Amino acid sequence: MTVDDTGSGTGNPASDGEPGRTAGSVADTAAARVGRTEAHARVEEQDRVDAQDGRRDRTEAPDRTDRQSRTDAQSRTDVYADDSGDDPLALRLEQLILGAERRYTPFQAARSAGVSMELASRFWRAMGFADIGQAKALTEADVLALRRLAGLVEAGLLSEAMAVQVARSTGQTTARLAEWQIDSFLEGLTEPPEPGMTRTEVTYPLVELLLPELEEFLVYVWRRQLAAATGRVVQAADDEEMVDRRLAVGFADLVGFTRLTRRMEEEELGELVEAFETTAADLVAAHGGRLIKTLGDEVLYAADDAGVAAEIALRLIETMANDETMPELRVGIAFGTVTTRMGDVFGTTVNLASRLTSIAPKDAVLVDGAFAEELTRTGDAPASEAEAAEEAAAAEKEGEEPPVYRFALQPMWQRAVRGLGVVEPWLMSRRN
């Protein structure tokens, strides 16, 4: 691809779009401009000779070739660092991760992708990227991403608004993932395996080794999740149910978390939150629910089946109660129509579940009337203990096995709930 200062011309980042210049003259001019060392110039001269020969003699000197390529890449990175004022290590890592050098300004990238600057800015902001003016900081990958999104719109597969939503949801999800990975790996990445090794000597090769493995794993997990989400949509009863669905929504909240934040050290608090989120995520997934999001001291999950949501809630209570390091837990669940958007859930049902959590006793589960009715309808809980006793007596009289219920429901006093009026919660427990 060729781009000059107005969006067309040569694509060489050192040429500044001047036509008719050879690779040698570009290298010489760049070396003179930034005062490259004589050793650096010799490396580029050798690269030019190798290019003219058509190939490097890799079989005779693979180690020398690899070192020379790394030296050349680092030298070019140093040039960009001098021009931009950025840290050379940061630029080397950026080039390694992105797989390309900085080449385009935003205007040039938009022009090369055939996208208006206005639309390109909307896409970039949706992905969570800051405005950078007209700094030369974009790569071929940025151009390709713009071209792909614009191509989906042009082909009629996505509307422009939907393409922006795709960019935003992908950006938000991967931004959190990247932050989590860096936070988790940072300690391991910066502790040298041997005394005397610098941060640069440790970080770069480890990222180089981890990058392809993490990339393939990310694609694998995404495909698995996409298959599961697609299956749920295909099984929906009608088109409206694809967006507005009847789900059980549960909030699990650590009791007294605010007080804990004042008593515990930051590191201890972080470990507690991580343990809680990990335990909750494992239990939700293992029993067939979906973890919607974590909020530090609170998790939000959903399930298509009320019995699944109930089992998850009680498992959470039981697991946390057996861990002396954990504070008490309380759970609120509601059942009803839920609007799903960009992986999140919204609506009155979600709000009701949150309010039930706030009034639930410690180590207990409160549910709304609709959820209690759904458990009764599916045979997971009796309408009342009196009815269960009558059924058991009748079955015994007939010589039959009595119905087996997993959960018990006890009506509680009606409560006024902020924003939702008066509700009648039910205390749910495991039936012996």
Residue 124 within a domain: no
Identify the domain boundary among 98, 133, 161. Answer: 98
**Residue 335 CB neighbours (<10 A):** 25
The answer to whether residues 427 and 366 touch, using CB atoms and an 8 Å cutoff, is yes
Q: Could you give the CA distance from residue 266 to residue 273 in angstroms, rounded to a whole number?
A: 11
Identify whether the C-beta of residue 358 lies closer than 8 Å to the C-beta of residue 345: no
Asked, for residue 34, whether it belongs to a domain, the answer is: yes
DSSP states of 39-83 as a string?
Answer: HHHHHHHHHHHHHHHTS--TTT-HHHHHHHHHHHHHHHHHHHHHH
What is the full DSSP assignment across 101-141?
---B-HHHHHHHHT--HHHHHHHHHHTTPPP-TT-S-B-HH
Q: Which residue has the higher pLDDT, 233 or 160?
A: 160
What torsion, rounded to 10 degrees, do the Cα atoms 36, 40, 41, 46 define?
Answer: -160
188-204: per-residue pLDDT in tens?
555 556 666 666 677 78
Q: What is the per-residue pLDDT for 55?
A: 40
Q: In a 3-state reduction of DSSP, which class is residue 20?
A: coil
Q: What is the pLDDT of residue 217?
A: 93
- And the tokens for 187? 């300690």
CATH of the domain at 296: 3.30.70.1230
Of 30 and 278, more confident: 278
Tell me if 11 is assigned to some domain. Answer: no
Helices (H), 191-293: 199-234, 239-243, 257-263, 266-286
Question: What is the predicted pLDDT for the residue at 236?
Answer: 60
Mean pLDDT score, 267-296:
89
Asked whether the predicted pLDDT for residue 4 surpasses 60, the reply is no
Per the domain annotation, does 202 fall within a domain?
A: no
The whole-number average pLDDT for the span 380-393 is 86
C-alpha distances in Å from residue 120, one per residue of 11, 82, 108, 123, 301 = 20, 28, 11, 5, 35
| Spatial distance between the Cα atoms of 356 and 331, rounded to a whole number of angstroms | 8
Rg (CA), the chain: 30
Q: What's the confidence (pLDDT) of residue 6? A: 38
pLDDT given for residue 229 in this prediction: 79
In a domain, 186, yes or no: no
Q: Has residue 278 been placed in a domain?
A: yes
Closest CA to 261 of 251, 270, 250, 249: 270
Q: Which residue has the higher pLDDT, 1 or 185?
A: 185
Distance between CA atoms of residues 94 and 97, nearest Å: 5
Model confidence at 216: pLDDT above 90: yes
Q: How far apart are CA 277 and CA 295, in angstroms?
A: 9
pLDDT surpasses 90 at 146: yes
Predicted pLDDT at 39: 38
pLDDT tens profile 306-361:
999 999 999 999 999 998 888 899 999 999 999 887 778 899 999 999 999 999 99
Residue 157 lies in a domain: no
Q: What is the longest distance spanned by two Cα atoms in the chain? A: 102
Q: Which has the higher per-residue pLDDT, 6 or 388?
A: 388
SS3 category, 335 = strand
**352 three-class SS:** helix
Domain boundary residue among 46, 65, 98? 98
Q: What's residue 343's pLDDT?
A: 78
Q: What is the mean pLDDT of the chain?
A: 78
Q: Compare 82 and 151 and report the one with higher pLDDT.
A: 151
- Domain boundary at 98, 120, 135, which? 98
- Asked, for residue 134, whether it belongs to a domain, the answer is no
Q: How many domains does the chain have?
A: 2
Q: Tell me the three state secondary structure of residue 326.
A: coil
| Helix segments in 322-423, DSSP class H | 348-359, 369-377, 385-397
* pTM flag (> 0.85): no
Indicate whether 265 pLDDT > 80. Answer: yes
* pLDDT above 50 (res 30): no
Please tell me which residue, 33 or 115, carries the higher pLDDT value. 115
Range of the domain at 30: 23-98
Residue 386 · residue 414 · CB < 8 Å? no
Q: What average pLDDT does range 142-155 have in this prediction?
A: 92
Strand-strand pairing, 364-367 and 329-341 = parallel
Q: Please report, rounded to a whole number, the percentage of residues in the chain having pLDDT higher than 90.
A: 38
Residue 203 neighbours by CB under 8 Å, 6+ apart: 89, 93, 189, 190
